[in-house]
């Protein structure tokens, strides 16, 4: 799995995972807060990629965003719940979330503050509850 920082430099996955294991200082987010973090994350990563390749991408309208973000969270759920279960460890959950995000977020850009919110939401919800149909 390849993750890049905001300057398009490759990140050390072990360092990223270590950072995501220590989320005690982060308030437990609601689903809505996790979706808003995904919105901001996606938009920032898209803007970073746009700057790199000299294009500008815009969403048709902000009112369309909730359905788009719900789709991203649903896609994360589909990806990680296919490989995880109630016995999955925190390490396995973090691996699966990072793998899903690296494939969904433009340019595999890793924005720590926003990823932490998404990971904290999934971990605090519990993989069994998060994956429940």
Task: Spell out the domain ranges in the chain.
Answer: 13-55+62-131
Q: Which two tokens stand for residue 101?
A: 């995000």
Q: Model's pTM, two decimal places? A: 0.86
Number of other residues whose CB lies within 10 A of the CB of residue 15:
9
More confident residue, 127 or 50: 127
Residue 69 in this model has a pLDDT that exceeds 60: no
Higher pLDDT, 98 or 59: 98
> Which own/partner pairs from 102-106 qualify as long-range (CB within 8 Å, at least 24 positions apart)?
102/1, 102/2, 102/3, 103/79, 104/72, 104/75, 104/76, 105/41, 105/42, 105/45, 106/42, 106/45, 106/46, 106/48, 106/49
Ramachandran assignment for 7, one of left (phi > 0), alpha (psi -120 to 50 degrees), beta (any other): alpha
């Amino acid at each position: 799995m390849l993750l890049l920082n905001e300057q398009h430099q490759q990140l050390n996955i072990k360092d990223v995972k270590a950072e995501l294991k220590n989320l005690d200082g982060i308030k437990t987010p609601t689903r809505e807060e996790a979706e808003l973090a995904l919105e901001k994350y996606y938009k920032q990563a898209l803007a970073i990629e746009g700057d790199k390749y000299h294009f500008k991408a815009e969403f048709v309208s902000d009112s369309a965003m909730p359905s788009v973000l719900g789709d991203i969270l649903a896609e994360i759920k589909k990806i990680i719940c296919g490989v995880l279960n109630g016995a999955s460890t925190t390490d396995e959950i973090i691996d699966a979330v990072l793998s899903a995000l690296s494939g969904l977020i433009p340019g595999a850009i890793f924005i720590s503050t926003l990823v932490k919110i998404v990971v904290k939401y999934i971990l605090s919800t519990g993989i069994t509850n998060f994956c429940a149909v």
